[in-house]
């Protein structure tokens, strides 16, 4: 009945090797500094309503987890509820006409 606390401790060495090994290789072969950018390129902007859409995306993920963990419902129901909220937001968002 008493199992050792680190039953799968044999898997820590490959994990450590991957973390340290890849960081070492990347630090050796990637150049220092920022990558070169095209100065003529426009800076990317989030359009109006973009932050609300990102918030609704996060809320959808949270609702899927809560519906599965707390309410014992399938996570799909939380995702569908989030999609419904997103559709309602897009439907009722005021449209600018030029």
pLDDT digits (tens, 9 = 90+) for 28-59: 888 888 777 788 888 889 988 889 999 999 99
Is 52 within 8 Å of 89 (Cβ atoms)? Answer: yes
21-26 LR contacts (CB < 8 Å, sep 24+) = none
pLDDT for 88: 92
pLDDT band at 5 (very low <50, low <70, confident <90, very high): low
Evaluate if pTM is beyond 0.85. no
Domain-embedded: residue 39: no
Number of domains in the chain: 1
Domain-embedded: residue 98: no
Distance CA(57)–CA(79), nearest Å, equals: 9
Token pair 């439907």: residue? 91
Domain-embedded: residue 82: yes
How many helices (H) and strands (E) in the chain?
3, 0
Q: Print the domain residue range for 64.
A: 9-33+46-92
């Amino acid at each position: 009945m008493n199992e050792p606390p680190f039953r799968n401790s044999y898997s820590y060495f490959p994990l450590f090797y991957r973390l340290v090994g890849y960081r070492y290789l990347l630090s050796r072969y990637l150049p220092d500094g920022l990558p070169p950018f095209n100065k003529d390129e426009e800076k990317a902007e989030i359009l109006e309503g973009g932050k609300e859409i990102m918030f609704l995306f996060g809320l959808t993920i949270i609702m899927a987890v809560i519906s599965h963990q707390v309410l014992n419902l399938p996570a799909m129901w939380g995702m569908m509820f989030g999609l419904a909220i997103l559709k309602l937001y897009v439907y009722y968002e005021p449209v600018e006409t030029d």
